[in-house]
Amino acid sequence: MDQLKARFKEKALPMASELKAFVKANAGVKIDSVSVAQVFTGMKGVKSLITETSQLSADHGIRFRGYSIPELKKVLPQANGDTEPLPEGIFWLMLTGDLPTADEVAWLSKEWANRSDVPQHVFDVLDTFPTDAHPMTQFSVAILSLQTTSVFAAAYKDGINKKEYWDPMYEDAMNLIAKLPRIAAYIYRRSFHNGEHIAPDKNLDWAANFAQMMGVKDPEFKSLMRLYLTIHADHEGGNASAHSTHLTGSTLSDVYYSLSSGMNALAGPLHGLANQEVIRWVLNMRKELGKDRPSQDEIRQYVIDTLDGGRVVPGYGHAVLRIPDPRFTAQLEYCKAHFPDDELVNVIWDIYAVAPAVIKEKKPNVKSPNPNVDAHSGATLMHYGVTEYNFYTVLFGVSRALGVLASLCWDRALGFGIERPKSVTIDMLQQLVAASKETEAESVA
C-alpha cells in the first residue's frame, strides 16, 4: 500500500465506525429541521423537491399523475390488438397531467419517428469503444455525444429570455427521447450481435420499433416492451437517476448533459443495475447448485450465504416502498398470463416465496424485505431470448428518460433555481448535535 493510501486508511476507517456509532446514538436529534440520520443518508424522506410527473407512496407504490399501474393499463391507449399501454401515453400523461386520446398518442408516435434520425458522429463515437465496454457506459456516452445538437444550448448562447427556457428544453427532450431506441438498439447489436444492425421501421410505435431494431423475433416481445417501457418510466423525483438528472439540469445544463448524468446514477448496482445483478445472481446460484430449478430450501440457504458474505440480495429492498413493488407485480401478472411454466420465471417466484423472510431475519433493520421492480424484469426478458443481461439497465434507462425529461421540462417552465444543499463536516455535525441537546435540556428544565 502506498504511503498516501495508508494514511487515508488510517484516518478514514476509524472515522467510519465512529460516525456510524454517533449517528446511531443521535439518529433522532434534529439539526435545523432534519434529523442526524437524514443528514447521514442523503436527506432520505426529507420533502425538498418538487416533481409533478409521479408520486410514490410507501404503502401503495407508484402513481403517475394519480394513476396506479393497473389503472394505467385500463386508461392509456394501446396499439391495435395489444393489451399493454403505449409508452407514448405515459409521456403525454406525465408531461401534461391529462390522459391522451388514441389520436394524440398516434401523433406522438409519428412525431418521435420524425425526430428519430441519429447523427453519424454518435455511431462513430460508439464504434471507438471496445464491444465489451459496458452497455451503460456506451449509452451514457452516446447521449452525451448528442449534446452537439442541443437546441437549448444554442438558444442560451443567443441570449434567450429565462421565461422561454421551457421551449428549447421541450424540443431537446422530444429529440432525445425519439433517438434513444435507435441508440440503445445500436449498442445491443454492436455488443452482442456482431454489429449486424437492423434498420428502424418508422411506421411502428416507439416501443415496437425498439423491439424490432433489437432483432427479437417473437412478435409478443413488442407487447412486453410497451409494458416494460411504461412501468419503468418514473418513480417520483428523489430516486438517484431522477435526482441526478434534475440536479445537473438545475445548473441549466441541457437534457443531454442531464440525462447522461442520470444514466450514470442508474448504472449503480443499488439502483438500475440491480436488474442485471438479479439475473447474474440467479445464474450463479443455478451454476453453484448444479441445477436449473433449485428447491426453496436451497434458495433459502443461498440467500443466507449471500447475506453472510456481506452482499445484498439484488432485487429486494427499497428506500421508500414498504410493500412488494407494483412494478414487480405487473411483470409477475404478465408472465402468469403469457408463460406461467417458464422455468426461470418460476425460480424468480420461488425466490419471492422465501427471500423476504430470510432478509428480515438476517437484517432486522431492513425497512422493506420485499421485491422491487428489478427482481422480475430479467427473467421476463430471458424468456424472449434477451439473455445478455449486461444490457438490461439500458432498457431501464430508455424508459426512465420519459419521466426525468418530462420533469426537466417542468423544471424550466416553473423557473426552478440551481440546487445547493448545505453540507457540514463531521465536527460541525457533532457540535450541532451537542447544541441541539443543550437547547432541549434547557427547555425541559
Ligand X SMILES: CC(C)(COP(=O)(O)OP(=O)(O)OC[C@H]1O[C@@H](n2cnc3c(N)ncnc32)[C@H](O)[C@@H]1OP(=O)(O)O)[C@@H](O)C(=O)NCCC(=O)NCCS
CB of 426 to ligand X, least distance (A): 18
CB of 297 to ligand X, least distance (A): 19
Residue 270 or 426 having the CB closest to ligand X: 270
Residue 168 or 356 having the CB closest to ligand X: 356
Stretch that binds ligand X, among 63-71, 152-160, 255-263, 363-371 (CB under 6 A): 363-371
So which residues are the catalytic ones? 271, 318, 374
End-to-end CA distance of the chain: 53
Three-point CA angle 183, 170, 247, nearest 5°: 80
And the C-alpha cell for 62? 407508484
Residue 284, sorted as left (phi over 0), alpha (psi -120 to 50) or beta, turns out to be alpha
| H/E segment holding residue 57 | strand 54-57
And the C-alpha cell for 183? 441508440
Q: Does 363 bind ligand X (CB under 6 A)?
A: yes
Query: Total binding residues for ligand X by CB under 6 A?
Result: 20
Residue 176, sorted as left (phi over 0), alpha (psi -120 to 50) or beta, turns out to be alpha
Residue 175 or 370 having the CB closest to ligand X: 370
CB of 34 to ligand X, least distance (A): 16
User: Rounded CA gap, 309 and 285, in Å?
Assistant: 14
User: Rounded CA gap, 387 and 370, in Å?
Assistant: 25
Q: Does 232 bind ligand X (CB under 6 A)?
A: no
List the one residue from 87, 200, 317, 403 that touches ligand X (CB under 6 A).
317
DSSP for residue 149: G
Beta bridge pairs of residue 371: 316
CB of 46 to ligand X, least distance (A): 14
User: What is the DSSP code string of 319-353?
Assistant: SS--S--HHHHHHHHHHHHH-TT-HHHHHHHHHHH
CB of 299 to ligand X, least distance (A): 14
CB of 359 to ligand X, least distance (A): 6
Q: Which of residues 265-304 bind ligand X (CB under 6 A)?
A: 270-271, 274
CB of 319 to ligand X, least distance (A): 4
Q: Maximum distance among all alpha carbons in the chain?
A: 77
List the one residue from 135, 294, 314, 397 that touches ligand X (CB under 6 A).
314
Residue 252 or 373 having the CB closest to ligand X: 373
CB atoms closer than 10 angstroms to residue 6: 10
List the one residue from 318, 376, 383, 400 that touches ligand X (CB under 6 A).
318
Stretch that binds ligand X, among 186-194, 204-212, 306-314, 341-349 (CB under 6 A): 306-314
Beta bridge pairs of residue 34: 31
Residues in the chain: 445
Going residue by residue from 374 to 393, which x/- string records binding to ligand X, judged by CB under 6 A?
x-------------------
DSSP for residue 164: G
| H/E segment holding residue 155 | helix 151-157
The answer to whether the CB of 152 falls within 8 A of the CB of 165 is yes
Going residue by residue from 190 to 229, which x/- string records binding to ligand X, judged by CB under 6 A?
----------------------------------------
Residue 142 or 303 having the CB closest to ligand X: 303
DSSP for residue 35: E
Q: Measured at CB, which residue is nearest to ligand X?
A: 317
Q: Does 243 bind ligand X (CB under 6 A)?
A: no
Q: Does 372 bind ligand X (CB under 6 A)?
A: yes
Binding site for ligand X (CB under 6 A): 270-271, 274, 307, 312-319, 359, 363, 365-367, 372-374
